[in-house]
Amino acid sequence: MHTTKKALLAALLMAGCLPAKAWDASLERHRSVYLEVPGGPALVSVNYDSRFRPGSHWGYRTGLGYTYSGHFGISDFSDKINGVSIPLELNFQAGRRKSRFEAGLGANLGYYHERYSYAYITTSYEDDGLHIRKGGTVKGTHKNFGYFLYANVGYRLQLPRGFQFRIGLSPSFNFGGKHALTKLWSPYMSFGYAF
């Protein structure tokens, strides 16, 4: 019986060591904060990134961003849009030591102030064949909740503790609707601190 207890204890110890070996030691420091410019979610954002557990390749990101742009908006006639947003993202990292491939999929939710303008021309015809053209410009503002979905694919340099650098591309898309924002592909770059 004494030998059986020793064998059982040895088996339990070995089983306890197996999950530790499955972990990626390079991901042991699994949290970071970073500043991203321009980025998928916003013109500038401050973010917190973490693995779901130490050593996991899977993680999440959340943050706070600010956007000011004339290149995307809620309507087709946007001149400028600015607002505050919150990115929510699930991400994956692969690689050993400090150099890693990263990919993520997220949603950017925000409250935006949009300024728009568009020109119009109307034509009317008289009985004598003459036509009269009238035109003008419509301007206005619109405040509303907006969203878009984004992905990111890039490279991450992360020391076990300390400096972090990320660079890549971030395409975006939406499912339509009155709150959907249209945004083009965007490069991203960030500098941060891993701990």
Q: Check pLDDT > 60 for residue 77.
A: no
In a domain, 19, yes or no: no
Q: What is the pLDDT of residues 32-41, one digit of tens each?
A: 999 999 877 7
* Residue 78 counted as domain residue: yes
The stretch 170-178 carries a mean pLDDT of: 85
Q: What is the pLDDT of residue 49?
A: 96
- pLDDT of 15 higher than 60: no
In a domain, 123, yes or no: no
Residue 64's pLDDT is 96
* Domain annotation covers residue 186: yes
Number of domain units in the chain: 1
Would you state the pLDDT for residue 121?
75
Query: What is the domain-level CATH number for residue 162?
Result: 2.40.160.20
For residue range 87-133, list pLDDT tens digits in order.
999 999 998 778 999 999 999 999 988 887 767 777 776 667 666 66
Residue 12 maps to a domain: no
Report the pLDDT value the prediction gives residue 66, as an integer from 0 to 100.
93
Looking at residue 19, its pLDDT comes to 39
Asked whether residue 3 is domain-assigned, the answer is: no
Residue 11 covered by a domain:
no
Is the pLDDT assigned to residue 46 strictly greater than 80?
A: yes
Per residue in 54-65, is it b (16+ CB within 10 Å) or e — as a string? Answer: ebbbebebebbb
Counting other chains too, the contacts that 185-189 makes at CB distance below 8 Å and 24 or more residues apart are 186/38, 186/39, 186/40, 187/38, 188/36, 188/37, 188/38, 188/39, 188/40, 188/152, 188/154, 189/36, 189/37, 189/39, 189/165
For residue 176, being part of any structural domain is answered with yes
Please give the residue range of the domain that contains residue 166.
25-111+143-194
> Could you tell me which residues are beta bridge partners of residue 192?
34, 164
* pLDDT at res. 70: 65
Among residues 104, 116, 32, the alpha carbon closest in space to that of 72 is found at 116
